[in-house]
Amino acid sequence: MSWAPSRTSSKIRAFRYSLPILGVATLFPLVLILSYWAFGATSFWRLIRNPALPPSNGQHMNQPQSTLDLDLSVTETATTTWDWQRTTIPNDAHVHGFTVFDNIYLRNGTFYVVTEDAADLPPIERLLSRPLERKPGVDTTPTNEQLQFITPGEAESVLGTRLTHIQGFSVIIYDPSQFMKHFYHWFGEIILGTWRVYSHLLLPQPSSTASPLPFPQRFILPFISNEEWRDRSGMDGPLMRAAFPDAAIQQATYWEDLKKLGTTVAFERIILVDRSAAHRHPFSGLWFKMIAGTMNISAPQDFWNAVRISLWRNILTPEFIAYNISNPSSLPLVTYISRQGSGRRLTAEDHDGLIVALGDLAIQGVCEVQIAVMEKMSLVEQIELASRSTILLGVHGNGLTHQLWMPPSSRSTVIEIFIPNGYVFDYEILARNMGHRHYAVWNDTLLTYSEGTYHKEVKYPDGFHGKTIPVHAETVTRIIRERLAG
């Protein structure tokens, strides 16, 4: 007796056997049909067509990074609209070339500031510049290619409907490499200026009660390739890893990756740093320094302390910090940074005379003295020496940048030797930021300026960079005695 399957059972068996063959391609239409039945026609098509919503004003961006944020609560009568977070400058933390932004957007390499009224924010030329080297005849005036102001109503048509969120605090250094490759310019201007303006966010709270600021999660150098931000002496790179150990340092390839995403990048918080914009501040015409304008923005006393301590903790041993910095029991240390092996230096006779005079101070028990040739010392030795020093002394030069790691106190001092009548503000500005007293020495003449007063001009007389700079040793030791007795 033969048996023939019914037409119905044949269909079931055929469907069952076809599943392994057709797989997802066969099931996908079925899923769509079931979804259509479950959600209803209107909600179903809204779900398909409008999967992503931007963060609302009540949503903080400290959430997992994503380009999609599904909202399944759409009702049949609701309309899907974007609620763009406005770009703001928190606590007015801005000065020419240094600006803290919350909720700023980037698309195809151009910044977008979303605001109801652009007049409420600084003009574009105070924010950034065309990323060109600073040379005579080169116009760095910014254009819409660098930054644009748009209204919330314009935002969706300009920025689209896909966002990539970059959370936390980002430092964006919008410069070519021209002035980056130098210890002083990197740490003494870019990083110091950044931290001073960022620290303005702590005001008006007393420093004793203010919560510490989060450290940057990344430094972005959009126009730097092949590690061109590093200095010749090899200081900047390792010191950045020590001061900001959790921060990535991203270069041009990262910037290009963001552009290739085809999305709008939403930064939670940045500080935008631009050298040419900084030099548009009126103070730049007096002091000719990138951070001149930052001296016009208030910051807590010893605002740099968090960076200094981070670097100490990541380079020095706990025992060294405990016995040599936190609770020093020895005499105050005077460090003379010798430049006799470089281009700008003292006369051989005056150099020898200064060493003898400093030695006499040590013999008399006034202080400990160290003669430092920084280029012959390891990185750790240099930081140890600076962190122990109370007075840092030397001819105008890069080594005086190490005052950044010297603890401030009522006696901390920087003594900078110039050719007579020569004057620049590089290390005086650092000393003012650090809380050290600064003295300029013109052979046997002293110059020092109290808060609110300054030298009148920058001067580079003949011999400024020469090998025959004079100094009267007894003038230097007199300052040392007075400062340590105070």
- HEC profile for the chain? CCCCCCHHHHHHHHHHHHHHHHCHHHHHHHHHHHHHHHHCHHHHHHHHHCCCCCCCCCCCCCCCCCCCCCCCCCCCCCCCCCCCCCCECHHHCEECCEEEEEEEEEECCEEEEECCCHHHCCCHHHCCCCCCCCCCCCCCCCCCCCEEEECHHHHHHHHCCCEEEEEEEEEEECCCCCCCCCHHHHHHHHHHHHHHHHHHHHCCCCCCCCCCCCCCCEEECCCCCCCCCCCCCCCHHHHHHHHCCCCEEECHHHHHHHHHCCCEEEEEEEEEECHHHHCCCCCHHHHCCCCCHHHHCCCCCCCCHHHHHHHHHHHCCHHHHHHHHHCCCCCCEEEEECCCCCCCCECHHHHHHHHHHHHHHHHCCCCEEEEECHHHCCHHHHHHHHHHEEEEEEECCHHHHHHHHCCCCCCCEEEEECCCCCECCHHHHHHHHHCCEEEEEEECEEECCCCCCCCCCCECCCCCCCCCECECHHHHHHHHHHHHHC
pLDDT at 238: 98
pLDDT at 206: 61
Domains and CATH numbers, the chain: 26-55 (no CATH), 90-306 (no CATH), 321-485 (3.40.50.10140)
Q: For residue 173, which of 254, 245, 116, 234 has the smallest C-alpha distance?
A: 254
Provide mean pLDDT across the span 452-456: 90
> Which pLDDT band, with edges at 50, 70 and 90, does 12 fall under?
very low
CA–CA separation, 88 and 92 (whole Å): 9
* Angle of helix 24-39 versus helix 7-22 axis, rounded to 10: 110
* The two structure tokens encoding residue 108: 């195809």
pLDDT at 5: 37
What does the mean pLDDT of the chain come to?
A: 86
pTM of the model: 0.83
Provide mean pLDDT across the span 464-476: 97
CA–CA separation, 151 and 118 (whole Å): 8
Question: 304 or 75: whose pLDDT is higher?
Answer: 304
pLDDT of 453 strictly over 70: yes
pLDDT of 475 strictly over 50: yes
pLDDT one-digit tens code per residue, 235-247: 999 999 999 999 9
pLDDT one-digit tens code per residue, 193-232: 999 999 999 998 765 566 789 999 999 999 999 999 999 9
pLDDT of 87 strictly over 90: yes
pLDDT of 49 strictly over 80: no
pLDDT one-digit tens code per residue, 108-126: 999 999 999 999 999 999 9
Considering the chain, what percentage of its residues have pLDDT values greater than 90? 76
pLDDT at 352: 98
> Which pLDDT band, with edges at 50, 70 and 90, does 57 fall under?
very low
pLDDT of 299 strictly over 90: yes
